[in-house]
Amino acid sequence: MAQDVLPELVGGVLCLDVANSVDGRVLDDPLDYLHTYADLVDWVRRAGGLSAAQAVELHALAEADPEAADGELVRTRALRESVFGLFYGRATQGVAAAGLLAAVQESYVDALAHGRLVADGPDLRWTWEPDLRLARWLLARSAVDLATTGPSGRVKACASQDGCQYLFLDTSKNGSRRWCSMTDCGNQAKSQRLTARRRASRAAD
Ligand SMILES: [Zn+2]
């Protein structure tokens, strides 16, 4: 979306970077950066989940069938909320609701059912044909990989008191990272922005 200044990607893993495409989840009116299917493709591309060529293919598929792309955007946003809930719950309470696991599992099973194992030089690679569901499949796979092979104990939620809730993989040596970003929540810049947004939406009511 042209008018949004996209935030820095701080998750360190595809699934967390996609979960962080909503900012200010505690607000009445959270800021969701994925307005269109094209936004989703660009976000996943920026997070390293898609090659430039794959992104071009997905944009073309979406232009050819906007209705299907809209439906897939809705499903991917729903999965994103399950992925967020799963890792946020585990990071902050040590648990996640069974329904969240089931939702991630459902898209993961779908992803596996549509992928193929192919030779790529000396290696093998799991791959998919261009498909509008690809972003959702990649999100599901990334979430299951992180949850099952970790280091999921290093997944943390931003310590901001004011509702950032961004998730990130703490790769610091002693596991001491507290903020999504030192230049943002680390110096309260984002918290001030979210507070201003909360006031503005209250004033608009
Ligand atoms: Zn933060």
CA 103 to ligand 1 center in whole angstroms: 26
Cross-strand pairs, 32: 22
| Residue located via tokens 């430039």 | 52
Handedness of CA 114, 83, 169, 56 (dihedral sign): positive
Is 125 exposed, middle or buried, given 0-12, 13-18 or 19+ CB atoms closer than 10 A?
exposed
What would the DSSP string read from start to end of 1-33? -TT--PPPP--SSHHHHHHTTEE-TTSSS-EES
pLDDT of 157 over the 50 cut? yes
Q: How far is the CA of 191 from the centre of ligand 1 (A)?
A: 8
Please compute the mean of the pLDDT values over residues 171-180 and round it to a whole number. 90
Distance in Å, CA 190 to ligand 1 centroid: 7
Q: Please identify every residue whose CB atom is under 5 Å from ligand 1, which is an ion.
A: 158, 160, 164, 166, 180, 185
Task: Report the separation in Å between the CA atom of 56 and the middle of ligand 1, taken as the mean of its atom positions.
Answer: 31
Looking at residue 24, its amino acid is G
pLDDT above 90 as % of the chain? 71
Q: Say how far apart CA 91 and CA 137 lie, in whole Å.
A: 23
- pLDDT at position 1: 44
Residue 3 lies in a domain: no
Instruction: Look at residue 194 in the predicted model and tell me its pLDDT.
Output: 79
Instruction: Confirm whether 32 is domain-assigned.
Output: yes
Examine residue 71 and state whether it is found in any structural domain, yes or no.
Answer: yes
**Rounded mean pLDDT of 44-70?**
98
pLDDT higher for 45 or 26?
A: 45
> Is 2 inside any structural domain?
no
Predicted local confidence at residue 7, as pLDDT: 87
Q: How far is the CA of 99 from the centre of ligand 1 (A)?
A: 26
Centre of ligand 1 from the C-alpha of residue 165, in Å: 6
pLDDT confidence of residue 181:
86
Inside any domain, residue 101: yes
Helices (H), the chain: 14-19, 37-46, 52-64, 66-92, 98-114, 134-149, 189-204
Q: Note whether residue 165 is domain-resident.
A: yes
Instruction: Count up the domains in the chain and report the number.
Output: 1
Residue 185's pLDDT band, with cuts at 50, 70 and 90, is confident
Q: Which residue has the higher pLDDT, 70 or 192?
A: 70
**Residue 6 maps to a domain:** no
* Banded model confidence at residue 2, pLDDT cuts 50, 70, 90: very low
Q: How confident is the model at residue 3 (pLDDT cuts 50, 70, 90)?
A: low
**Residue 182's domain is classified under what CATH number?**
1.10.3300.10
**Where is 168: in which H helix or E strand?**
strand 167-169
Ligand 1 centroid–CA 110 distance in Å is 32
- Position 49 in a domain: yes
Gap from CA of 166 to ligand 1 centroid (Å): 5
Measured in Å, residue 8 CA sits from the centre of ligand 1 at 11
Q: What is the pLDDT of residue 13?
A: 96
CA distance 198 to 52: 36
pLDDT at 182: 82
Distance 6 CA to ligand 1 centre (A): 14
Whole domain around residue 180: which residue ranges? 14-204
Check pLDDT > 80 for residue 162. Answer: no
Angle between helices 66-92 and 37-46 (to 10 degrees): 50
The tokens describing 138, both together, are 């990649």
Say yes or no to pLDDT of 205 above 80: no
